[in-house]
Amino acid sequence: MEKTIFAGFGGQGIISLGQIWAYCGMEEGKQVSFFPFYGAEKRGGIARANCVVSETPIASPVISRADSAVVMNRDSLDVCVSTLKDGALMLVNSSLVPLSDLPKAVLERFRVVPVAATEIADRMGNVRVANMVMLGALAKKTGAVLLNRLDEVLAHFFPGAKRTLIPLNVEAVKAGMESC
């Protein structure tokens, strides 16, 4: 069972990231839960998603102690620190949260992996796929979701004319896997 917190600000694709993570787990025949949380702002407010992926039934979507976290911005660090269990994996968008900004206690308590998600996405030509870069990194580091049916999941997630976005998103996931 992998309990993951995705955290960032509105507009970073946090909710979409959690949904895609859960859908990928479902496509692999796993039990999943997805519990989003976001502020009333349209963009810029807090955005979080709790996801559980398991081989066995999930009792609750509430995560009191997470195994992993995706931290997309500095403001999300504290909520993740307070919920992660000791030794948990913390993927940090080092484009927006340099490791030098992390307290020593965070670096000592968790397995911190920097992923320059925003920079990688920017080099790919679309900063909005930074969330997909993190999806790839998380899949590689946890093994909780293999992403072996990613194309099918994205085809459902991006209907109609938005299907043109699928190749870029797949490329971003691969870049995320290669980044760590």
| Number of domains present in the structure of the chain | 1
Prediction pTM value: 0.95
**What DSSP assignment string belongs to the chain?**
-EEEEEEEETTS-HHHHHHHHHHHHHHTT-EEEEEEEE-SSSSSSEEEEEEEEESS--S-S--SSEEEEEE-SGGGHHHHHHHEEEEEEEEEETTTS-GGGS-HHHHHHSEEEEE-HHHHHHHTT-GGGHHHHHHHHHHHHH-S---TTHHHHHHHHS-GGGGGGHHHHHHHHHHHHHT-
Which CATH number do you get for residue 6? 3.40.920.10
* Number of residues assigned to the chain: 180
Quick one: pLDDT at residue 39?
74
In the Cβ-directed half-sphere of 24, how many Cα atoms lie within 13 Å? 24
Structural domain harbouring 149: 2-178
Question: What value, to the nearest 5°, has the Cα angle with vertex 152 and ends 172 and 27?
Answer: 105
**pLDDT at 46 (0 to 100):** 85
Q: Distance (Å, rounded) from C-alpha 75 to C-alpha 41?
A: 15
Note down pLDDT in tens along the chain; length 180 residues: 999 999 999 889 999 999 999 999 999 999 999 999 987 666 678 899 999 999 999 999 899 999 999 999 999 999 999 999 999 999 999 999 999 999 999 999 999 999 999 999 999 999 999 999 999 999 999 999 999 999 999 999 999 999 999 999 999 999 999 999
- Measure Cα distances from 49 to 12, 33, 93, 120 in Å: 12, 10, 16, 23
Is residue 131 within 8 A of residue 71, CB to CB? The reply is no
